[in-house]
Structure formats: structure tokens, C-alpha cells
Chain A
Amino acid sequence: MTAATTRRGFLKISAIAALALGLPASAQSSLIQQKTSWALGEIGGKTGLKNASVTPTICTFCSMGCSIDFYTNGSDIIWTRGSPESYINWGALCPKGKVAYQLATSTERLDSPMIRTGPKPPAEEILNAKTWDELVAVIKKYPPQWRKVSWDEALSYIARRLAAILNDWRSSTGAPAQQDGYYYIGAKTPVAVMGSSILTNEEAYLSIKLAAFLGTSNTDSEYRKCHSSTVTALALTYGWGAETASIEDVALADVVLFFSNPAEAHPLSFYYFMKGKKERGTILIALNPNYSRTVEASDIWVPFRPGTDTAILNYILHYAFFERNPPIDQLPEFQRLMSTRWNITQDDLDDLKAMLSEYDAQTVSNITGVPVDMLRTVAQIYVENSGVVTSHKKHGVIQWAMGMTQHTDAVLSIIRAAAIVQLLLGNVGYPGGGTHPFRGHSNVQGATDVQGGGLGVLPGYHAPPGSPFEVRLYQDWKLQGMPDPWNWEVPQWALKSFSTTAPSRGKADAAKALEVFNFYGWRRFELLWGIYCGTVPPDDPVNGKVVCDIPIGTGASETTLPSKIFTGDVKAAFIFGENPAVTDPNIKVTMAALASLQLLVVSDIFETETAWFADVVLPGVSFAEKEGTKTDGNRVIQWQWRAVPPRGQSRPDYWIIATLYKYLRREGAILLPSEAAGVRSEEVKFRKMGQIVFVYERPLRPDYSWDYSGGVGAAQPISDIEAEVNPRIINKEINYTMLIYQGMYDPVRDTFTTMRRNNALRNPGEIDGTFSSTFKVYKNWGWSWPLNVRFMYNYDSLQIALGHPDVVTAAGKQWTVTGETGEIIDEYTGEYRPAFVPGHNFFVPKAFKRRLSGVADLFGGVDLMTFIRTGQLSFPGKFVVETDGGVQVLDFETFASSTGMRYPWANDALYWDEETMTFPAFLKRIFYPGVGWRQFKPTYENMRSLLRQYYSQLGDLKAATLKVIQEMGGWYKGYTFQWPIHAEPVEAPIVDFAIQYPTLAWLNPYNIEVLEQEPSILQGKMVGVALEPNELQAQLQPLGITGITVVMTTNRLTETWHSGSMNRRIPDLVELVPRPFVKIPRKLAQQLGVSTGDYVELWTARGGLKMRAYVTDGEAYLEVNGQDVPVVNILWSWSFEGPDAGPSANFISPDVVDPVTTIQETKAWLAVIRKAPSV
């Protein structure tokens, strides 16, 4: 044997010899030593696992909140797996979560800041593109030609350019100086700050704080386009715009209606759905035009026409009230709930029933395309398994996502209908009866919370001051000692502009409660941001000058931003971690707008399609390279640890934004109104017994509020980057600025409650112990808002399940509870006590009581800015108490020792009692001034018949619509929209229905802009809408395009994600689904002569594109009102960047929006389809 003949070589040779002899393996055993044991990780090169350190992170994709353990060695990632202890994913992951680590290792990551040197694609050229290929050709003609620069150069460059834009604007408008003081009208400041649902809470919060300091209300984020309609419709109905219960709830349901596709969009939710199926035989009903993987796992497929959800939901109630015997309103449980928890009278109910009576099975079948027997089966199952019918032995869950939210009638009709069905069937507030919108991104709920849902709303949903008047009213409230609604007296002078039924002290109504909730928020921002909002002098709210650092009024949304850019109202934009060039509808318009900005700054981890249009691109980090909190879709806030250091020069967005602030400040881009007014401190004064009492002086320290360096105790910075900008300090700040997030930091014990990873259930006797153990709810894991409540509004579910109230011992007392109470630090003992006693109810904690009303500033006047940074407690604020001897001003020690209240700095002495819980669900919520259904009905009939008349006269639905609006003085003029009614999408497949059920879109003038192709740059371009098939065909005729008209809807898959900027750069995911395609029903394919894999063209009023067709019986081909309606489903996560590029579905989707929240209608529109002439 030569030296070269290794043992392995020898084995080969002998094997070949054996092969030649045809000897089976067994015959050669003497020649071969077989390997029979392996070390862990030996096959895939992961033997380093043994010595790896393990760090839990939170998945960056969907909103389930799965934990991913990173096994690392220094900055090397050896392996990742689902954390076995997480109650959400118990060690499992979906494919995206499994390979999410590749975002940290991808070689395509941006590793340095970059400044554009190439020209931007001209807006005109972009807008002229009629096909996707034409658009890509235009864009690629103008590459950005990046120059890599240092952080210092990039940030200085941004600051200089922004300062120039803003100083120009300030000197031409005089802002922030106004007639009656100093403040910015937020919508007018020509800057927009956008993003993002993928940031941590701390980052998203800073972005909105930056916007406020810039004086702009033009703030928004991805949530605009996914669940803004959910947030608004639910908030206005129940009090909070969020999923009502955490994920454990769905396993307690007896029936689930999916109007969505969670098996693909939220795979781990199926752990709990399947648990329900196994343990109680949950019936899963999937309503979807597409045979998704959720349908595969469901008991029945109910294909229906996109955009007709309201009709189905109304029919469920129709069945309950008119077909069922006895009708549900004769059931005692219905009557109990109606008299105690819903704000409706018998007359209101009659009005609702009058509306519902029109949604009989045949009518709804005609609208939706669902056969009557199937509709009735669904309604029967849902109603018979409901809380009111079974006296809470059983409940049903409605689960939805974009399929419901992206419609022009999403807020007023679709989601309102879901919310009302859940209420009237006695499901909401009872385990297994949740209302479950599944949010998209890993932190979309958190971003919504910490950004107040956009449009300049403040963190924690405190609306910004709407006018200088409101600031005056606020100043008066401050003078009253920052009282709760019950202790607030609305001053006489304000009553002409502020309407309440309970102006005097001692009483409160919803108007007062909601206003105090806003005031209370502004005060928190003043204290934590070191700014001022009020009058000067402070003791003259009526005549003083208004000086307010919080921008006044709301601003532009993400979907309406392009039009603001075209008109020059917005000149600069920051986009943090978001990709509107793919995710906006009608993206040609968005791209043209982005290209028209004077300054566009984008931070992201890859060069996204949006970055292509940027002036400066800043390299952000992936989830694994930063720390902070994320709020999952059902409000559970979890800590995300940093597993590996940032790649190259990339930095977390908290570092980017806080550092950017310093540069903007240095260059003079930021000028606060208080500075312009020369206000350096606030003299805090209370009005007591007719006299003005000086309480203390509060220095303004806006720059200190941006100093997040250092950190002590639990907030020790984890690395040099965090030592400069420490997210743990930001986290503490959020804990104090946002009432709903209060509790995520425990200042008494110096712990971050979001870091808790304990999957033990609580025991009876503990706070919510019986609740946790009875319903298997993991309350010791992380923290949840509000005040760690997991199943909201469950006021008495425990009492009903047990047959008696439960008793809890906490903070040295016994508490009798009937539902889930949540917990709050007790102001006397510093221990936890139940918060919402006896159980959480609608609108709390928006309505709260405060023991320090009229006594002290928030949190007892503690210096919070210093406390969160250094841990030092000091009390510049004083306590004003009325005694027999008059008004006394006490320091903290004296007050604390005389009252025993030692911890007001932890909880602001907030509490909730029966009175605070009396606000019922806003079942009869009105959205517009006007009348109820029965009174509106004749106007409605008139509107329909005029529309029909003008349409037949003019043959043009657009013209007919505009004529009706003109003649009637508005659209749907006079209806309050207190009840949801079916309305067609803007692009309706059946003209008869478009007339019979007119779209709601024209309630908002923005949509009329879209209809008329305004602003002027859009005139003559392919960017509009076609209201019905004839109109679309007529528009396409000059281009020589003919084909079959179809209803379009958009879709994504387990393997794809949103704009695709992440999944298209993960080769493992690309392997599973390379390039986009459209799903078309087999019958349509036959009509078109198309086989699976062939290319088809889709043409709309926005242009055309070409994709492969996936032919299946699992796509709806419906009969609607006797007419064929094929549905085509287009995958939308693609665009022109990255290795897996492909046509963007949003190139052809319409940008008409919901009138209330401006969410786009991307789930139901029209296209003409034909076989592609050539490939």
C-alpha cells in the first residue's frame, strides 16, 4: 500500500472489487469497518454546540412572538432552534422562524452608511410605465450609485440637508410662532417619519419622539396598511384596538371562523388551534376564496367573494334573530348582557334588527356566492356554540387578518360587524370567545401602541392636542391638580367647545374620561421628555399664550403621503425599516412620490426597493443583533436579547435615531416652540381653595431626555453600543410615558417584567391564580398590556365558570374578584395588588381614578428623568393637601409618613373601582353625525335610485357617482354608520351590485382625488380605478387588451413575507417558492386555454403584468347573482431588488382607501386576465 492509499482509498478499492464480484454488503463485512455512532452535530458541522452559549430572541417575522434560541460562539451562530420553554412555540418554529438567523448572517446585508451620487428616476417617467417591465426598465436606468461613508458623514449630511429644508420653511411661514403663541401645526411641518412594525418598542417609540421634536404629525407605520381598520373599529367598539385575548384563548373555543389564513401567516397559532381541536373538538370553518393551508387544516371550506364579509356576518345575526327559535334576544343571558354591558336600548336593538332583517340567507347568498345551505350551516354552528346560547359553556372565535382589513368598508362595516357579532353572541370577554385579529409583523402591535397608531397620535394612544383651545383646557386641568375624570371640573368658559353631560366634579362621562386620558398622557410626555405644553403664564389658561412642544393636530397617513409629496407639503422623509415601494398599493405612484422628495433617509438591513429612491441609506441590524421589547399580536410583551454583535458598521435603530437627534440638534434642524418662546422651566401651580399655590419649578431638559447613555442596576448596558444608547433606559421611559405599558418595568424591584420566562401557571389564591390555572393562561411569562391582563373585558368569566366569585390575597388584603384583574404595584406597600377589581372591563384603563388628584404632580412629583437614568429618587414636586387649617404644601417624606403612601412614584396611585368600569361597550357607536338605520333608509333608497338613474342615463358609473354626491350634498349623507351594512368594493364585478350596495369610499375626499386622478401629475397616467367591468374593458381597449374580467385578491404564503425584502434574501425560503405566481381556478384556466405553469397577463386600470399561473380547484369560481365570478389570487411579496426578483402585485392594486383610517383596498379589485401572447 502506497502512502497515498489511505484507509478510505483502500475501502473504496475493495468495494469496487466487491462490486465487480456482485457481492452483497454482508459478504464483505470483513473488509469494511462500518461507522455506527455519531457525535451531536457531526453530520451538519455543528459539533461546536456543546460549548455554545444560548440566547433567547424573539422571531422577527410574524406576530406570534415565538422565541428562538441562538447557540453562539462569540459572533458565530452555530445553530438556532425554537426555545423549548416558550409557551408560544414550545420548541417548534415555522420555516421562516427556522431560518430567520440567516438575516444576521446574510452576505447581502448593508454594512455601511451610504450617500446617493446617482440621479433619481424622474417621477414622470415612472408614472408613464404601463407594464411592470416598463417600470423596471425606467427604475434600473437610474441606479443610486452609492458612496459608502462614515456614520459621522452620513448623519452630518442628513442634518445639514434637513436643517436647510426646515429653516427655509420656518422662515417663510414664521413657524413655530403663531398668533396666539408658539406651536407647530403638525400636518404642516414638511417632514414625514415612517416606520416600522419590525422595530422594537424602544426604537419605534424613539422614531415618534423624534417626529414630535421635529414638530410633525406626519407619522405613520406599516400598521396603516395592515390593521389600522381593526384598531379603529375595535377601539371604538370595545375600548382598545387590539386582539382581545392572548393565544391560549383559541384553544378554548368550540368553533372558529377564519376569515384569514393563520396556518400560513401565523403557523405557530396552529399549535393552539389544534390543541382546541384535540381537547374539545373545535370546529374550524375557513372562509376564503383560496384553498389556503388553513383551509386544508379546517373542517370546511367556505369560498366567498372577496369583500362580502359583512353580508356573511350580518347573516349570522339574521339567523340568530329571525331564523332561530327562540331568537337570541329572548334568551336571559342576552338580556343580562344587554342591560349591564352594552350601551343599547330596546329601540337601538330594533334599529339594528331592522337593518339585519334585510340580510336573509338568499340575499346574502346572492351577494357572496356562498350556497344557502352552506351559509345556514355556518350560521347555525356559530350561533349554537355561542356564549349567549350555551350560557357560556361554549364560545366562538372570529379570527381575521388582511382579508378583512384591506377594504374601503373595513372600519365602518366589516370589522364593526365582527365586533358586534362577538358582543351580541356573548363571546367577547369570555374564554374561548375572543375577537382575534392576527397582526402581521413581530412588533406591529407594539409599534402601533408606542406610536399611538400613527398620524401624530402620541405613544399609548393619547391623542395630540387638536387645537390651541385644547391646550388651554389642559392647562386648566393642570391647575386643578391633574385630577381624574371624576375629580375634574370642566370650566365654564370651555363648555361651549367641549361637550359633556357631566361637567361638574363628582361625575364623569365618556367624553370626560377620554379627554382626561389624553391630558394625562401629555403630562407624562412633559415630564419624561423635558418639554412644555400649556399656557404662559401657567395660571392664566384663558388669556395666556399657548406654548406647546407637542405638535398640534393629526397628520398624513402612509397611504395618502404620496399626494402630500406631489403637492410639496412634505419635502423630506425618514423611513425606518419599512419598504413602502413594495407594500403601498399602486406602487408606481409611491415610487414617483419617493423620487420627488428633496431628502429621503432610509434605514434598513438590505438595499430595499425603497432604498433605491433614497438620498441616504443607513444600515440597521437584524433582530438578533439588538435588544429590547416586542409586543406580540395579542399584547404580550417579551424581551428580546442580543445574540450576536452588529455586522460591520450596522447599528440598531435606537442607536441610529438617538444619535441622529444629536446631529439634528447641532445643525439647528430641531427648534422647539418652548425655545422659540424663551420658556426654560415650568412653574407648576395648583388652584386650591380659590388661591393659586406654587408647587414646584420644573426645568425643561429636552436634550437630557435624549441622553440614553450609561445605565445602572438591571439597566447595565450590554455593550459599547448600548452604553451610548441604552434601550433599557428607553424601556423605563416608555413604562412611565405610556399608561398602558405601565408595569413592564418594575421600579420597586428594578426588574424588567418583560424578561420573565416562566411557563408555570399561577396557583389559586395568587393574583389571577384561579384564572390562570382554570383557563391555562401563562401569566408569569413576560408582561401584557394593560397591567398584565391577558383576556381583556372578562369582567365575570371566572364567576360564571366557578359559580361563585374568587378570593385573592395580595398587598396585605383580600380581594373578591369575578374575572381577570391584572396587577399593579400598590402605592402603600410596594407589593402587587389586583388592578381591575373585580375584573377587566371595556374602556379601562382609559378611565381611571387617581388618589393624587389635586394633590401632586404625576408620580408624586418625582424627578423621573433622573430616576430612569441613575436610579436616584428625588422629589422636587410637593404635595398639596387641604386641611382644616388651610392649604399645606408638604414634601414627599412628610406626605409619605402621614399617609403611608410610599410608592406613588411607582404607580401614580392609580386605581379602578366600580365607577371606572361603568362604561359599556360602544355597541351603538356612531361614526358620523346623523340618524339611525330606519330613518336613513329612505335617503339610502333615494341614493340608490339616483345612482341607477344616472348610470342608465350616462352609462358611466364615475360620472353618475359624482352627480349623486353633488345632488345629495354628500355620500351616504345623514347615516351615522352605527350599524355595519354591506358595501361593494370600489372596483365591483357586478354593476348592479355597485348600484345596489354603493361603495363607502366616497365618504373620504381623498378617494375622490384618486377617482379624478389628482394631483395634476397623475392626469393622463394609468393610475386610476375602473368602477365596473365595462369601464375597465373600455380603458384597456385602446391598448388592444381583451380577456376575462376577474375579481382579484392578494395573498402571501408561509414561505413569503410581506414586501419580501427579507424572505427573498433567504435562499432556503426562495428554494421553496421561487418567484411569484397567480392562483387561478381550473374552470377559468380552461376558458383561457391555460395550463399550470403557463404565463398569464393581468391588466387593470393601473397597468399590466405577467406571471405564471398555478391552476387549481382550490380557487373560487363563484356564481354571484346568477353570474360567473372567477377569483384570482396574486402573490404579492416580490419586486425588482435582490436575487429573487419578480413582478410586484401592488403595481396593479388600487390605492383607494377606507374612509376612516385610509387603509387601502387591496383585497378586492378588478383585472382582465388573458393568456400571455408570448413568454
Chain B
Amino acid sequence: MVAVNFPPADQGFAVLVDIDKCIGCRACQLACKDWNGLAPVKTTFSPTFTNPQSFTAQDWKVVFYYEGAAKKGLATPAGEVVFEQVDVAPLPAQCLHCAAAPCARACPSGAISVTPEGAVVINKDQCIGCGFCENACPYDVPRRGSDGKYYKCTFCVDRIQNGREPACVEVCPTGVFTFGPASQIVQMAQSEAAKGRTVYGLNLNPYVGGQVRWIYVSSDRKAFAIKQHFPSDAVVPTNEAREVLQEIVPPLALVGAVALTAVGFASWRRARIEEQKSQQKQKEQ
């Protein structure tokens, strides 16, 4: 794999997202729009309550709502009583800022910088709108704007580089997000995992650098949201194959490039869409 200059995963910043504390208020979703000057988007009725139903060029943070079944235990004087009930879990989502961001590796124009803080940032001025980042992202994050360029969460790079936590972290009423030095956050996540809580974001596919900088934790009760939301494997196989190809057969790169740009790109994209669909289906099952 070609190395873009990624800071080590235990350097820079990270965030622990404890969805047990989340009341689904979406202040984070609007704080993100507000800080980044993102225009309102016209939406319609959402069957899942999530709105817009996924990221857009103007919505870099979206709270997803998942309905599931849960076991709820209550401490009574006579011991624990368990009720099985429906449950709904909100999951505030944004770019996960992969430790080794595949979007940054994929960007042919070098528009995606990775800062020493670990923020993966698309530079609008350099973006050529090719969509490689979107195709490379296992979390479906970068979105094409009406100007043809791609947009996504910047980790509030213009805040974290100036002594402030990200806007969504600051606004959250219940302290869902803990922002801090990556080493500490990773340690916290590990100790949550040791307590038996579900953790997403560590020990991932090397495709994303093995871990991401926005790490999710939840109790058993709310874990269904994490399972429904995140792909079972943090990888985009078609893109992974392409990367492997580039790396192991440098002399063929030129041929590969021509093939990809001329014909291959279209089919690659189709394959990628298929792949996303089947992942989506898996999630729904």
C-alpha cells in the first residue's frame, strides 16, 4: 500500500462515542451545519426518522435511528427483572477519520490532506470531483456537492487546530463524545471493551489502517445500532484490489490507468455500487 503521510493511530486526536448516553436530539447534526456554514437541504418524510436519510454535501454529520429488540433489566428489591421490548437507538455518524484513510490514498489530485491531528480533510480548491474518495470509503461518507466537488466532515480541523473541540462534541447535551489525545481515547475504548461493552473502531481491516479515530461504544442493549450501521468489514474490496494492483505491478500502472479511466472506471463504479447495495441488504437482514 502506498503511504500517504498518516500520523500514527495513537498520535493526534480521537473521539469516543458512547451511544448509550445519546438522546438522539440531533444538536450535533445542526451544530455541524452551523459551524461549517452548510445550507439547509430540502427533505421529505423519512421512514426511519433519520433525515436527511444519509450524508449529503451539506450534512456532514447525521444521526441515524435504528429500531431493534432489546432486553432491559431492572433492579428491584427482589432482584433483577428483565423485560424484552422494542428499542430505538440513535447513532450520531460522521466521517470516522480512518487511521489510514483510504479516501486520501485514492484521491488522484491530492485534495485530501491528513493533518498531524489525524483529521482527513478534503480541500475544496483541489478537489476535481472524480468521486474516487466516495468509492474508496467503506462508510459511504464523501458526498458530491452541486458544484461537483466532494464534501465531508473535517474533524472540525479549523477548531481542533485552534484549541477547541469539534462543534458536535461541544454542543452535545449529554456528553456522548469524548474528544482527546488518540492514545487516551484508544485506551478508554479498550477498557470499555474489557468491561464487555461493544466497541467499534479498533481492530479493523488494514484497509482503514486497522482502526478509526471516531470509536463507538455501547452496552449490549444498544449494540444492535452499531451492528446495523457499520459494515461487517471495513473494506471496499474493489478498491482494495485496485490498490494492490497498483502496488505490485508498477510497470503496468500506465496500462491499468488507461484501462481504468477509459472503460474500467465505469464498471468499477458499477461494481462498487453493487457492493454497497449488498452491504446494505446485509445490514437490513
Chain A positions within 8 Å of B, measured between CB atoms, are 8, 11-12, 15-16, 18-29, 31-32, 34-46, 79, 81-82, 89, 91-95, 97-99, 263-264, 267-268, 270-271, 274, 281, 283, 291, 293-297, 299-301, 373-374, 377, 380-381, 384, 1054-1055, 1067-1075, 1077, 1092-1093, 1108, 1110, 1112-1114
Using Cβ atoms and an 8 Å threshold, which residues of chain A touch B51? 1071-1074
Please tell me if the beta carbons of A1072 and B26 are within 8 angstroms of each other in the complex: yes
A28-B257 Cα distance, complex, nearest whole Å: 15
Chain A residues contacting B121 (CB-CB under 8 Å) are: 35
Closest to B21 in A: A274
A862, B125: Cα distance in complex, Å: 71
Given known contacts A299-B74, A381-B76, is B30 in contact with A1068 (CB within 8 Å)?
A: yes
Report the Cα distance A295→B90, complex, angstroms: 12
Say yes or no for B123: interface residue by CB 8 A criterion: yes
Q: Which residues of chain B in 136-164 are interfacial with respect to chain A, using CB atoms and an 8 Å cutoff? A: 154, 157-159, 161-162, 164
A297 to chain B: closest residue by CB: B23
Residues of A within 8 Å of B116, CB to CB, are 36
Q: Which of B64-114 contact A (CB under 8 A)?
A: 67, 72-78, 81, 83, 85-90, 104-113
* A1055 & B45 in contact (Cβ 8 Å cutoff): no
Extra contacts besides A25-B110, A1054-B24 (8): CB < 8 Å = A19-B109, A20-B261, A22-B253, A44-B38, A95-B25, A267-B23, A297-B21, A1112-B67
Contact B128 A19 (CB under 8 A): yes
Separation of A267 and B22 alpha carbons in the complex (Å): 11
Residues B37 and A267 in contact, CB atoms below 8 Å apart: no
Cα–Cα, bound, A197→B209 (Å): 54
- Report Cα–Cα, A18/B111, bound state, in Å: 12
User: Which residues from 10 to 35 on chain B have a C-beta closer than 8 Å to any C-beta of chain A?
Assistant: 21-27, 29-31, 33-35
A267 and B40 CA atoms in complex are apart in Å by 22
- Known contacts A44-B37, A95-B26, A377 near B162 by CB under 8 Å: no
Q: In whole angstroms, what is the CA distance A492 to B103 when docked?
A: 92
Q: Does B196 contact A (CB under 8 A)?
A: no
* Separation of A94 and B168 alpha carbons in the complex (Å): 11
> Of all chain A residues, which has the CB nearest B176?
A274
A15 to B171: give the CA distance in the assembly, Å: 38
Could you tell me if B24 and A1074 are in contact, using CB atoms closer than 8 angstroms? no
**A contact residues around B59 at 8 Å (CB):** 1071
The 4 closest A-B pairs by CB, nearest first: A22-B257, A15-B109, A44-B37, A1067-B40
Known: A38-B157, A267-B173. A1113 touches B29 (CB 8 A): no
A64 to chain B, nearest CB (A): 9
| B interface residue numbers (CB < 8 A to A) | 2-4, 21-27, 29-31, 33-38, 40-45, 47, 49, 51-52, 59, 67, 72-78, 81, 83, 85-90, 104-113, 115-116, 121, 123, 125-126, 128, 130, 154, 157-159, 161-162, 164, 170-175, 243, 246, 253-254, 256-258, 260-261
Q: Which of A31, A92, A1112 contacts B173 (CB 8 A)?
A: A92
Q: Are A44 and B105 in contact (CB under 8 A)?
A: no
Main secondary structure of the interface of A (DSSP, over half): mixed
A458 to B: closest C-beta gap in Å:
37
Query: Among B35, B104, B159, which residue has its beta carbon within 8 angstroms of that of A25?
Result: B104
Q: Is the CB of B158 within 8 A of A41?
A: yes
**Residues of B contacting A41 in the complex (Cβ-Cβ under 8 angstroms):** 158
Contact partner of B31 (CB less than 8 A), chosen from A98, A291, A1072, is A98
Q: Which residues of A contact B47 (CB under 8 A)?
A: 1092-1093, 1110
Also in contact, A37 and B161, with CB within 8 A (given A25-B4, A98-B34): yes
Q: Are B27 and A15 interface neighbours, CB within 8 A? A: no
Please pick, from B23, B52, B83, B172, the residue contacting A296 in the complex, using a CB distance under 8 A.
Answer: B23
A91 closest partner in B (C-beta):
B170
Are A23 and B253 interface neighbours, CB within 8 A?
yes
A884 → chain B closest CB, angstroms: 67
Chain A residues contacting B108 (CB-CB under 8 Å) are 15, 18-19, 22-25, 28
> Which residues from chain A contact B27 at a C-beta distance below 8 Å?
92-95, 97-98, 267
Would A92 and B123 count as touching, CB distance under 8 A? no
Q: Are B78 and A1068 in contact (CB under 8 A)?
A: no
Q: Which residues of B contact A299 (CB under 8 A)?
A: 72-74
Q: In this complex, what residue of A is CB-closest to B69? A: A1113
Contacts of A270 in B (CB 8 A): 23, 173-174
Contact A267 B25, beta carbon cutoff 8 Å: yes
Q: Is the CB of B173 within 8 A of A380?
A: no
Contact between chains at A296 and B24 (CB < 8 Å)? yes
* Given A36-B116, A43-B37, A300-B72, A94:B25 Cβ within 8 A: yes
Q: Point out the residue from B49, B85, B172 that lies within 8 Å of A301, measured CB to CB.
A: B85
Given contacts A25-B4, A1068-B30, A1070-B40, contact A274 B174 (CB under 8 A): yes
Contacts of A263 in B (CB 8 A): 23-25
Answer whether A26 and B25 are a contact pair too, CB < 8 Å, given A36-B115, A82-B171, A1108-B45: no
Q: What are the residues of chain A within 8 A of B25 when measuring CB–CB?
A: 94-95, 263-264, 267, 293, 1054
CA distance A95 to B253 in the complex (A): 49
List the B side residues contacting A91 at CB < 8 Å. Answer: 170-171
**In the bound complex, do residue A92 and residue B78 qualify as a contact, i.e. CB atoms below 8 Å apart?**
no
Question: CB < 8 Å: which of B24, B126, B175, B254 contacts A15?
Answer: B126
Q: B172 contacts which chain A residues (CB < 8 A)? A: 92
B105/A24 in contact, CB under 8 A: yes
A377-B74 in contact given A40-B162, A1071-B43 (Cβ < 8 Å): yes
Give A448 to B261 CA distance when docked, in angstroms.
Answer: 70
- Residue on A with the closest CB to B132? A19
Instruction: Report B-chain residues with C-beta under 8 Å of the C-beta of A8.
Output: 125-126
Q: Which residues of B contact A267 (CB under 8 A)?
A: 23, 25, 27, 173
A29 to B4, CA, bound (A): 9
Given A19-B261, A1093-B47: A34 and B113 within 8 A (CB)?
yes
Known contacts A99-B34, A267-B23; A21/B257 CB under 8 A: yes
Residue pairs across A and B with Cβ atoms less than 8 A apart, 20 shown, are: A8-B126, A23-B257, A24-B108, A27-B2, A32-B126, A38-B161, A38-B162, A43-B157, A44-B37, A44-B158, A81-B171, A91-B171, A263-B25, A270-B173, A274-B175, A296-B90, A299-B74, A384-B77, A1072-B51, A1114-B67
A263 to B23, CA, bound (A): 6
User: How far, in angstroms, from A1114 to B89 measured CA to CA in the complex?
Assistant: 12
Q: How far is the CA of A22 from the CA of B104 in the complex (A)?
A: 14
A1115: nearest residue on chain B (CB-CB)? Answer: B86
Contacts of A1112 in B (CB 8 A): 67, 86
The CA-CA distance from A82 to B77 in the complex, in Å, is 41
Q: Is the CB of B78 within 8 A of A1072?
A: no
Closest to B164 in A: A40
**Complex interface: chain A residues within 8 A of B77 (CB):** 380-381, 384
In the complex, the answer to whether B125 meets A32 with C-beta atoms within 8 Å is no
Judge whether B174 and A271 touch: CB under 8 Å. Answer: yes
A1092 to B49 alpha-carbon distance, docked (Å): 11
Pick the contact of B37 from A46, A271, A1092, A1114 — CB < 8 Å?
A46
Provide the bound-state CA to CA distance between A397 and B164, in Å.
36
Bound Cα distance A1112, B68 (Å): 11
Residues of A within 8 A of B23 (CB): 263-264, 267, 270, 293-294, 296-297
Q: How far is the CA of A299 from the CA of B116 in the complex (A)?
A: 41
